[in-house]
Amino acid sequence: MSTELLKATEAKIIKNLMELGLPATEAKIYLALAYLGSASAGELEKRTGIQRPHVYKALNKLEKRGLIEREISTPTIYRAEFPEKHLRL
């Protein structure tokens, strides 16, 4: 996939997440976690360009929403939970 296409796809996914109610920072962090599988706050800072204090704030909010889980380790590792896990059909 070309870099331009990848960036356009990421932008569309972030827009969709924002339409579902996530602020831009949380949407970017969630997408990065979904892409990486798991990551520390420092890795997310590097991946997204979002300053670490804002990364931690977004991670806390995403965890409260049930969209990510936190692994107690050093450093702390975060993993995306996928929405279909929370849907009842």
Sorted by where each begins, the domain ranges of the chain are: 3-86
Could you tell me if residue 37 is left (phi over 0), alpha (psi between -120 and 50 degrees) or otherwise beta? left
Please state, in angstroms and rounded to a whole number, the distance separating the CA atoms of residues 47 and 39.
Answer: 10
pLDDT of residue 72: 92
Distances (CA, A) of 27 to 41, 59, 85: 15, 10, 18
pLDDT tens for each residue of 6-59: 889 999 999 999 999 999 999 999 999 999 999 999 999 999 999 999 999 999
The angle that helices 24-36 and 41-48 make with each other, rounded to 10 degrees, is: 110
pLDDT tens for each residue of 58-70: 999 999 999 999 9
Please state, in angstroms and rounded to a whole number, the distance separating the CA atoms of residues 13 and 28.
Answer: 9
Q: Hey, which bits of 1-89 come out as E strands?
A: 38-39, 68-71, 77-80
Check if CATH label 3.40.50.300 holds for domain 3-86: no
pLDDT of residue 84: 66
The residue count of the chain comes to 89
